[in-house]
Amino acid sequence: MTDDRTLYDDDILLWSEQQAAVIRALGRRPDLPNDLDIANVAEEIESVGRSELAAVESSIERIFLHLHKLTLEPGAEPARHWRVEIAAFHMQLRRRYAPSMRQRIDLDALWRSTRELTGLACEGTALQDAAESLPASAPVALDDLLGERIDPRTLVERIEVTSRT
């Protein structure tokens, strides 16, 4: 059995950028019909890759938000549900992640934005001080999020240790 996987299957972001470049290059050929909207066709193809990157970043943000909840309220009734949600977001992340996304994902920016949202949610509550003590930058690496399994308890421990330093 042969492996029929293509770049489209393995790295949709890189594929979309390469295909858009090819289409733009074709647009410079004088022997092609000029009624083909090359610029917008290329843009639409690139948007496929950007959409996948946005979905991956969204999964990371959701993991971070749920890690914040677990860090701030480990004994809360929905904690088990939060861990299941983290596992679900992890599956989505792994399914959609492509290697070329690594250099474009800014974990610290994603962490900061979710930290800000957590702070807003905790404003004026007993959790406000704890939310403000969450680390300023991501205490986890992308590889921690991309592994075959994700362990929320280990990640929460890392957040707690980083919060104390």
- Per the structure, the count of domains in the chain is 1
Please provide the distance, in angstroms rounded to a whole number, between the alpha carbons at the two ends of the chain. 53
Cα–Cα distance, 107 to 137 (Å, whole number):
8
Residue 85 in any domain: the answer is yes
- pLDDT at position 165 over 80: no
Domain of residue 154, CATH code: 1.20.1220.20
Q: Which two tokens stand for residue 163?
A: 């919060």
Instruction: Tell me which residue range forms the domain holding 155.
Output: 51-164
- Residue 50 confidence (pLDDT) above 80: yes
Q: What pTM was computed for the model?
A: 0.90
Mean pLDDT of 115-130: 96
User: Per-residue pLDDT tens for 87-112?
Assistant: 999 999 999 999 999 999 999 999 99
Asked whether residue 19 is domain-assigned, the answer is: no
